[in-house]
Structure 1
Amino acid sequence: MRRRTTVAAATAAALSAALAVTALTVPAAVADQSDADTTFVNISVNHNLDYTVGVEATKKRVFSVSATVSDPSGVKSMSFELWHGSEDRTKVDGVMSGAAQCHKINELTSYCEALVTADPNVNLRKNALAGLWYMAPVAVDGAGNVTRGVGAYFAVIKRQTYLSQTVVTPDPVKKGTNITVKARMTVAGWEQKKNVPLIGHQVLLQYRKGTSGPFVTLKKLKTDRNGWATSTVKATADGAYRYDFATTSLTQPTTGAADYVDVK
């Protein structure tokens, strides 16, 4: 049995484009591998849903990782390894893995998909484990040779976020009167085993006139030390108010439920 490694060069584009997974593989320059290189293409995390996985405070999340694998002697088996902390596997602070089921496309190529479990009670016990996870596909070919792909393969594991129902007071309200719009922002606390306030993050106060049409942004503001977003605006017409939170490198996006206001 031989062990081989295919190497992919991580580029700035791979990291900047939403930490997307790329599938550029360059076989290692070893003479006895030239006639038996395993290649990995079309690597997908979470079925290409931006390669991102959101995980709640206490519930495990099962997600898929897949690849199309080719080898001159065929593909016997496949697995995926994920780790956090450093590209150097000797300095990791978190690991995940999953064995794949492979479906033969032809004698040389198979489509392989694994289910990986992200669990706050097992492999996500620290909030600091949110963010970029390195990933390596590992294949065994028909001759028993093991190839481990390394390089520009990534997944992003994020903490799930939540916005409470927006509350507008007073309601109903006289036209031209100030109204207060409040909602609370929380995030999955993997360490705390519960949702905790998301402090000091920007949210957008949005408004939709009437009962249909798009929401427009009125203000940008940050949540306070208890996770509350509070803003004051003048009531001009019947409509709905809500808060919206964009994604970060560590947290998922979310939009709160709107509150409709009757303006007299």
Structure 2
Amino acid sequence: MCTQIGDQVGKHVWRAAVTGGAAVVFTAVAAVPAGAAEGGVSFTRVQVNGGKPIVIGVSNEVAAPASFRMATTEAWEYPAVFLYRGTANGGDQLWHAIETSDCIKVSSGVCDFNETMYFDPSVRDMHNSEAGAWKVAAQVYFRDDGGDTDDEGLTVYVKRNSRLTCNASPEAVAKDRTITVTGKVTRANWETRKYASYGGRLVSLQFKPSGAASYTTVKKVYANSSGDLRTTVKASKTGTWRWAYHGNTTTGPSTSAGDNVVVN
């Protein structure tokens, strides 16, 4: 056990749902803080990933930062924020590893914490149904017995990563002649750990003239049932073409690499 020395406590990592065990336990005995909840604990200043969606592919670990403030009258263990569906007590919790910082003392009995949520689809069997909206709760266990879990009134979207390819041809063309731009939209399948076709998506075809700083949308095209994209446009000037998908509640946005076409 790692016991508090002064104001610092050890880090801990949970390689299970929040209700699981920790590699290191840390404890503290706090004086009664101003503004503590009636039950002895209050959580404030809760943030997860800066309010942005957490987008996960099929192999790389994703680290999502979180932070919170805890005021408590109790001797405590395992403070953390976590993601859930249903109810904060007894609902479904999204599996992820958690690393929580030492107590950053604000005042007597009040600590700020920095937390990192780790999502690794290569070592844990994620389910596609887990994509979408999750609520945020904060939880702490008391050293003697019991604990406190509070709904924080926040929503975080966990999304499957998407990918796009692009090919514009011919890549040297006479002015005002037609070029064909093709591509494919896919998204992460967490259950197979591969990218699969994502059909029916509305995707933007974008163009950036040579020397310009940004892309503009030329038209929007629906992918077919296999995720394939195809359209034709007139080539009026040399520049780079790409596809851009803006995502939805279960799938993250993506842009393809650009394909340059020289107009003679």
- Do both share a fold (TM > 0.5)? yes
Work out the CA distance in 1 between the residues paired with 2:77 and 2:126.
34
Q: Name the residue aligned to 2:69.
A: 68
Specify the SS of the correspondent of 2:214.
coil
Work out the CA distance in 1 between the residues paired with 2:62 and 2:37.
40
Work out the CA distance in 2 between the residues paired with 1:124 and 1:131.
17
Counterpart contact for 1:210–1:239, Cα < 8 Å:
yes
Deviations 1:172-228 (A, max 9, x none): 111121100112211111012101112111110011222323211111111122222
Matched, 1:128 2:129: yes
Return the letter of the residue paired with 1:155: V
How many residues are paired up?
228
Q: Name the residue aligned to 2:3.
A: none
Q: Name the residue aligned to 2:204.
A: 204
Counterpart contact for 1:45–1:52, Cα < 8 Å:
no
Q: Name the residue aligned to 2:158.
A: 157
- Match of residue 44, structure 1, among 28, 42, 47: 47
Work out the CA distance in 2 between the residues paired with 1:116 and 1:55.
12
Counterpart contact for 2:40–2:74, Cα < 8 Å:
no
Counterpart contact for 2:52–2:156, Cα < 8 Å:
yes
Which stretch has the larger CA shift, 195-204 or 206-215? 206-215
Counterpart contact for 2:59–2:120, Cα < 8 Å:
yes
Deviations 1:101-123 (A, max 9, x none): 33212213211123323233565
Which runs of no fewer than 5 residues in structure 2 stay unpaired? 1-35
Specify the SS of the correspondent of 1:153.
strand
Q: Name the residue aligned to 1:8.
A: none
Work out the CA distance in 1 between the residues paired with 2:182 and 2:80.
47
Specify the SS of the correspondent of 1:128.
helix
Work out the CA distance in 2 between the residues paired with 1:147 and 1:90.
13
Counterpart contact for 1:202–1:221, Cα < 8 Å:
yes
Higher percent of residues as strand? 2
Query: Residues 169, 34 of structure 1: CA spacing in aligned structure 2 closer, same or farther, 3 A cutoff?
Result: closer
Specify the SS of the correspondent of 2:129.
helix
Specify the SS of the correspondent of 2:43.
strand
Work out the CA distance in 1 between the residues paired with 2:205 and 2:43.
44
Counterpart contact for 1:80–1:97, Cα < 8 Å:
no
Return the letter of the residue paired with 1:133: W
Matched, 1:216 2:216: yes
Aligned pairs for 1:12-31 (under 5 A) are none
Which runs of no fewer than 5 residues in structure 1 stay unpaired? 1-32
TM-score by length of 2: 0.75
Which stretch has the larger CA shift, 135-144 or 209-218? 135-144
Work out the CA distance in 2 between the residues paired with 1:87 and 1:76.
22
Work out the CA distance in 1 between the residues paired with 2:125 and 2:131.
8
Q: Name the residue aligned to 1:248.
A: 248
Q: Name the residue aligned to 2:147.
A: 146
Return the letter of the residue paired with 2:133: L
Counterpart contact for 2:82–2:93, Cα < 8 Å:
no
- Give me the CA root mean square deviation: 2.7
Return the letter of the residue paired with 1:39: S
Work out the CA distance in 1 between the residues paired with 2:109 and 2:258.
54
Return the letter of the residue paired with 1:149: D
Could you tell me how far 1:144 is from its partner in structure 2?
7.0
Specify the SS of the correspondent of 1:57.
coil
Q: Which runs of 4+ in 1 moved over 6 A?
A: 141-145
Counterpart contact for 1:82–1:97, Cα < 8 Å:
no
Work out the CA distance in 2 between the residues paired with 1:195 and 1:54.
14
Aligned pairs for 1:171-182 (under 5 A) are 171-182=171-182
Query: Residues 69, 250 of structure 1: CA spacing in aligned structure 2 closer, same or farther, 3 A cutoff?
Result: same
Counterpart contact for 2:89–2:149, Cα < 8 Å:
no
Q: Name the residue aligned to 1:239.
A: 239
Query: Residues 124, 130 of structure 1: CA spacing in aligned structure 2 closer, same or farther, 3 A cutoff?
Result: farther
User: What percentage of aligned pairs have identical amino acids?
Assistant: 22
TM-score by length of 1: 0.75
